[in-house]
Amino acid sequence: LILFQKGQTPTPPPFEIFFCFGEEWPDQKPKEKKLITVQVVPVAARLLLEMFSGELSWSGDSIPLQISHPDLKDKVVEQFKELHHLWQDQQRLPQPGPTPW
């Protein structure tokens, strides 16, 4: 991307990611002939390319960024973190020695 921005390469770097399901790939068949293909376009990569190439018509301040709302998986992860911290604290406590009979 930097080389493209500096004019040291004529084409921008590819940023699309393609997945193929149910068939061998790559092979001699073009991706358009595959049964199931998925194209993923990372928004951040596309925005960077548009900014560097001058195609971005609005300022970077107006890029809508959104943080997802926590769901059950996030809460479970937080609970595991809490348990791990409790376990670490428990390991740091002095362990009682054997009691004399």
pLDDT in tens, the chain (101 residues): 778 878 888 888 888 899 999 888 888 888 888 889 898 888 888 877 877 776 655 554 555 555 556 677 677 777 767 877 787 787 777 766 666 66
Residue that has been written with the tokens 């009682």 in this structure: 96
For residue 87, give its domain range: 1-58+67-91
Within a domain: 101: no
41 Cβ contact partners less than 8 Å away, ≥ 6 residues apart: 15, 16, 17
pLDDT at 5: 77
Within a domain: 23: yes
pLDDT at 79: 77
Q: Cα–Cα distance between 19 and 36 in angstroms, integer?
A: 8
How many structural domains are present in the chain?
Answer: 1
Q: Is the pTM of this model over 0.75?
A: no
Q: Cα–Cα distance between 85 and 87 in angstroms, integer?
A: 5
CATH assignment at residue 2: 2.60.200.10
Within a domain: 96: no
Within a domain: 99: no
